[in-house]
Amino acid sequence: DVWDPERLLQCPYNKHHQIRARRFPYHLVKCRKSYPEVAKELATCPFNARHLVHHAELSDHIMKCNDKEFIEQDIVNQSSGFQREEMNAAGTWQPPPCDEDWE
């Protein structure tokens, strides 16, 4: 199950490290400092910071990344929600009463 916080994940910095999913982000920060040479070779996925791949494989990963769909759906939802809010705001806005007398 991809949502199971107890599932084991393999560390991209050291293949012998098996880390529980719930601890994985913390482990990545720690291991990045411990393995700076490996860290230079890896690129971070723009859709999920837990995905670290070799620089040469990044474009292929981006095309196939499962988390890409979640981000794209969020963008669609946000833009359609913004358009709805904009339409509602334009249709209900009333100018404030003016107390000034210019004559």
The per-residue pLDDT for 82 is 61
Below-70 pLDDT ranges, the chain: 81-93
The per-residue pLDDT for 41 is 97
Q: Give residue-wise pLDDT tens across range 5-31.
A: 999 999 999 999 999 999 999 999 999
The per-residue pLDDT for 56 is 97
Read off the amino acid at residue 42.
L
Task: Delimit the domains of the chain by residue range.
Answer: 8-66
What is the rounded distance in angstroms from the CA atom of residue 68 to the CA atom of residue 47? Answer: 6
The per-residue pLDDT for 87 is 61
